[in-house]
């Protein structure tokens, strides 16, 4: 069934998220399942014990699932919580795990998603979230439809994408910086309003920041650029002890969507550095101050926290930042993490300014300690300009999603 598309192709349900009783479905489930079928997305039913899935669904007026699995069908008969459940689903349907979405009702369903690296949605219409489950939540089946329609059923598009030759580094930027979005009443907002000026913008019941970050996270998920068990971190702002509150707030809530770990102090600013955005703005007005904003300034002020000396090697580390221009911060994070033994580094940013990304490497003979600041200057780096150009990314699809959120609230 895998047609090569980078979208969700199957939605996997715990049977309690589908059936209220043995012969009655939860309100809205039938409509969701028919909607999936119209889009050639199959649905799968999981149950711990054997059951007549075909008969139960027919009695409840539901279409037949493409697949039903119980514990007896999983190699080794593991309890729910094992990723083997979703591995079995992916193998049976000839799909990648990132082409699955799991909708469940218990913390064990949540663990199942975490172990398999599959995004989990907690069906609050079937069971309240009493445990401390940090996941996407849906109060109705229609909210699952919204999630799929706006984020998971179209190919991910990026304003900017870069992959290095050896496959150890990837950069994805969601949107160009000048894009504007509706906020109701004929008014608009920009990325800078949300991530630079920290404005709180409501799109009906949705927060604009969450919509943008969800698009970033789930686009990366579909591409395989949000692997489970990776380390999340945010590149620190110019003052010690500070990261972007807008990024941090969402990542703290979404950190285990695919079983990753958010470490706010993995990268730390030890010494205050110039605000590169401010200095770049001053330079554009002819007010250059001669302040060093090169990658060397990052080397002298940012390090990996020494507490992670034995925790980075062999890991995938995902570095988030709000905006990137030429990539000095991203490149310094990559150099630090690779020197510390990271297996791969993935950089995700909300915005990308149109200047070409510059790749940096330490010149031969230059040694650094990734767990300390390093007294380097620009001559210690070899620079290579990468392909430039910034596209629209998912601007149009995000506008449609935001307009729907606004219309729903009216």
**Residues 71, 50: Cα–Cα separation, whole Å:** 8
CATH topology of domain 160-385: Rossmann fold (3.40.50)
225-265 confidence digits (pLDDT tens): 988 788 888 899 877 876 667 677 666 665 656 666 778 88
Give the DSSP H/E element, type plus range, for residue 407. Answer: helix 395-409
Q: What confidence score (pLDDT) does residue 242 get? A: 63
Contact call for residues 350 and 191 (beta carbons, < 8 A): yes
Residue 119, pLDDT > 80, answer yes
Which 8-state DSSP code applies to residue 1?
A: -
Contact call for residues 6 and 172 (beta carbons, < 8 A): no
**Residues 375, 274: Cα–Cα separation, whole Å:** 16
Conformation bin of residue 204: beta by default, left when phi > 0, alpha when psi is -120 to 50: left
**What angle (nearest 5°) sits at the alpha carbon of residue 123, between those of residues 158 and 8?**
35
CA trace torsion 287, 275, 212, 163 (10° rounding): 100
Q: What confidence score (pLDDT) does residue 273 get? A: 72
Q: Which of 224, 226, 233, 235 is nearest to 257 (CA)?
A: 226
* Torsion sign (Cα): 231, 237, 240, 245: negative
**Residues 35, 146: Cα–Cα separation, whole Å:** 11
Q: 19 has which bridge partners?
A: 25
Q: Which residue has the tokens 């970033």?
A: 216
Residue 55: count of CB within 10 angstroms of its CB: 11
Q: Which of 152, 194, 168, 163 is nearest to 323 (CA)?
A: 194
Q: Which tokens belong to 397?
A: 């699809």
The ranges assigned to domains in the chain are 10-152, 160-385
* Torsion sign (Cα): 202, 206, 211, 217: positive
The per-residue b/e assignment along 233-262, b for 16 or more CB within 10 angstroms, e otherwise, is bbbbbbeeeebbebbeebbeebbbbbbbeb
User: Does residue 347 sit in helix, strand or coil?
Assistant: strand
| The model's pTM | 0.92
CA trace torsion 332, 335, 339, 341 (10° rounding): 110
User: Does residue 249 sit in helix, strand or coil?
Assistant: helix
Contact call for residues 293 and 276 (beta carbons, < 8 A): yes
Q: Which residue has the tokens 């591995």?
A: 87
**Residues 59, 53: Cα–Cα separation, whole Å:** 10
Q: What confidence score (pLDDT) does residue 276 get? A: 63
Q: Which of 306, 302, 301, 296 is nearest to 319 (CA)?
A: 302
267-318 confidence digits (pLDDT tens): 999 988 766 665 555 555 555 555 667 999 999 999 999 999 999 999 999 9
Q: Which CATH class is domain 10-152?
A: alpha beta
Equal CATH topology for 10-152 and 160-385:
yes
Conformation bin of residue 99: beta by default, left when phi > 0, alpha when psi is -120 to 50: alpha
pLDDT band at 374 (very low <50, low <70, confident <90, very high): very high
Q: What confidence score (pLDDT) does residue 166 get? A: 85
Q: 361 has which bridge partners?
A: 382
Give the DSSP H/E element, type plus range, for residue 284. Answer: helix 276-284
156-196 confidence digits (pLDDT tens): 999 999 999 888 999 999 999 889 999 999 999 999 999 88
Q: What percent of the chain has pLDDT over 90?
A: 71
Burial, 396: exposed, middle or buried (Cβ in 10 Å; 0-12, 13-18, 19+)? exposed
């Amino acid at each position: 069934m895998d047609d090569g598309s980078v979208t969700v192709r199957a939605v996997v349900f715990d049977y309690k998220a589908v059936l209220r009783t043995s012969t009655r479905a939860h309100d809205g489930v039938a409509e969701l399942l028919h909607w999936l079928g119209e889009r050639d997305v199959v649905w799968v039913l999981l149950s711990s014990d054997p059951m007549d899935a075909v008969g139960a669904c027919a009695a409840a007026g539901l279409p037949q699932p493409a697949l039903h699995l119980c514990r007896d069908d999983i190699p080794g008969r593991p309890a729910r919580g094992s990723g083997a459940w979703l591995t079995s689903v992916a193998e049976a349907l000839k799909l990648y795990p990132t082409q699955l979405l799991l909708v469940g009702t218990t913390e064990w369903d949540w663990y199942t998603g975490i172990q398999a690296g599959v995004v989990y949605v907690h069906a609050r219409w079937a069971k309240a979230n009493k445990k401390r489950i940090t996941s996407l939540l849906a109060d109705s089946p229609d909210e699952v439809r919204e999630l799929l329609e706006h984020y998971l059923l179209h190919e991910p598009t990026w304003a900017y994408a870069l992959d290095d030759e050896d496959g150890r580094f990837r950069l994805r930027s969601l949107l160009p910086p000048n894009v504007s979005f509706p906020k109701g009443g004929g008014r608009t907002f920009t990325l800078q309003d949300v991530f630079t000026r920290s404005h709180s913008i409501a799109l009906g019941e949705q927060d604009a920041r969450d919509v943008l970050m969800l698009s970033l996270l789930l686009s990366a998920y579909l591409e395989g650029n949000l692997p489970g068990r990776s380390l999340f971190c945010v590149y620190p702002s110019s003052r010690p002890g500070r990261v972007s509150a807008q990024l941090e707030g969402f990542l703290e809530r979404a950190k285990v969507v695919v079983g990753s770990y958010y470490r706010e102090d993995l990268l730390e600013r030890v010494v205050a550095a110039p605000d590169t955005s401010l200095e770049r703005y001053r330079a554009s007005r002819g007010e250059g101050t001669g302040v060093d904003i090169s990658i060397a300034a990052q080397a002298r002020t940012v390090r990996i926290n020494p507490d992670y000396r034995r925790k980075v090697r062999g890991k995938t580390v995902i570095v988030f930042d709000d905006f990137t221009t030429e990539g000095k911060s991203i490149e310094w994070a990559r150099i630090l993490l690779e020197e510390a033994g990271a297996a791969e580094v993935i950089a995700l940013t909300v915005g990308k300014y149109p200047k070409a990304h510059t790749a940096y490497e330490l010149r031969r003979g230059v040694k650094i300690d990734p767990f300390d600041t390093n007294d380097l200057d620009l001559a210690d780096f070899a620079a290579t300009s990468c392909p430039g150009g910034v596209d629209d990314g998912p601007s149009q699809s995000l506008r449609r999603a935001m307009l729907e959120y606004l219309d729903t609230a009216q």
